[in-house]
Amino acid sequence: MSRPVLWITRKLSDATEQRAARDYEVILNPEDRVYQADEIVAMSAKVDAILPCHSEVFSKDVAGRLSDRVRIIANHSVGVDHCDLPALQARGIVVTNTPDVLSDATAEIALLLMLGAARRASEGDRLVREGRWVSWSPSFMVGRQTTGKKLGIVGMGRVGLAVRRIVSGLGMEVHYSNRRRLPPETEQGAVYHDSVDDLLGAVDVVSLNCPSTPDTLNLMDARRIGLMRPGAILVNTARGNLIDEAALAEALRTRHLFAAGLDVFKTEPSGNAELALLDNVFVLPHIGSATRETRDAMGFRALDNLDAFFAGREPRDRLV
Ligand code: 8YV
């Protein structure tokens, strides 16, 4: 029986590409070029399966124009806001993602962002590198301590729970909001708020860990940012769409917020020029899951889903 043709849209880890080449007729992208809508549609006529990243957008329009040959889109990401799931489902295309395996790596970046924002890491780094560190005093570069403070996690799913685990050494009091309250054994004493609004005023640091959906677009708008405590810190490792970036920039300029730590932006790549000008923002270029271990694990999880599908079994991470 001939092997399914699999298009891997971006350059993935060596281990992932080797395993894929062992089991599929693979089309790779060694130049790591980003494919646009018409190219995705054209390529779809040649393949049975696609293994994309969040950089390839399967909008309603693209879903409608994909070749009938494509049977499964096995994403190399947990977030699937780049996929119009109802439109793909209507085409009979199975869609999977890669939950669990990136939670710890993403939580590490949330911790880094929180501490980087609280302790003015970008500012200090620039000062030393640019040769502007010319004096020292006890009142120099004073930041905020997070030890023993209150952390609010918006979206207590797998990544939210990993964030809570990783900050445990800081003795933070954990609060959370979530669509559903967690059972006591999972909640483990975290304080539940039945609305984001209610959570925001109760904590010193807010970590966004919920998916980007039409309901969460600009979740952190000017009104909600205004509900945060004066001097609070906002951390985002989820998706840029969760924040009204102009409203955030204003709150940082006026110092209503002490700082923000951001790994994700509305426009990627590139980020947000207005935010980048501010000293009290610690920014990274969407690298939440970018560790060698996690990249292998994500690739393998996507391949596990493909293997199950082509063996006639239900893929573990099937979304539609
Ligand atoms: C990835 C992500 O870097 O999984 C997600 O949703 O945003 C990131 O972990 C990216 O999607 C890799 O394909």
Hey, whose CA ends up nearest to atom 2 of ligand 1?
77
79 lines ligand 1 (CB under 6 A): yes
Q: What is the pLDDT of residue 159?
A: 98
Q: What is the pLDDT of residue 250?
A: 98
Closest-lying ligand 1 atom to the alpha carbon of residue 239: 7
144 lines ligand 1 (CB under 6 A): no
Tokens of 282: 């610690």
Q: Which residue's structure tokens are 């951001």? A: 262
Q: What is the pLDDT of residue 1?
A: 66
> Are 51 and 6 contacting, i.e. CB atoms less than 8 angstroms apart?
yes
Percent of the chain with pLDDT over 90: 99
Closest-lying ligand 1 atom to the alpha carbon of residue 54: 11
pLDDT in tens, 151-208: 999 999 999 999 999 999 999 999 999 999 999 999 999 999 999 999 999 999 999 9
Q: What is the pLDDT of residue 10?
A: 98
91 lines ligand 1 (CB under 6 A): no
Residues contacting 31, CB < 8 A, separation 6+? 11
The alpha-helical segments, DSSP class H, found in 167-232 are: 184-187, 196-200, 222-227
pLDDT in tens, 229-281: 999 999 999 999 999 999 999 999 999 999 999 999 999 999 999 999 999 99
Q: What is the pLDDT of residue 310?
A: 98
Tokens of 183: 């059972």
Q: What is the pLDDT of residue 196?
A: 98
pTM of the model: 0.97
Terminus-to-terminus CA distance in the chain, angstroms?
27
pLDDT in tens, 49-88: 999 999 999 999 999 999 999 999 999 999 999 999 999 9
From the list 60, 65, 155, 44, the residue with the least C-alpha distance to 103 is: 155
Catalogue the active-site residues: 239, 268, 286
Domains plus CATH for the chain? 5-101+292-310 (3.40.50.720), 103-283 (3.40.50.720)
Peptide bond into 269 cis (omega under 30): yes
Q: How far apart are CA 100 and CA 103, in angstroms?
A: 5
289 lines ligand 1 (CB under 6 A): yes
Residues contacting 95, CB < 8 A, separation 6+? 72, 73, 75, 80, 83, 85, 88, 89, 318, 319, 320
Cα 22 to the center of its chain, rounded Å = 30
Distance 85 CA to ligand 1 centre (A): 17
pLDDT in tens, 92-113: 999 999 999 999 999 999 999 9
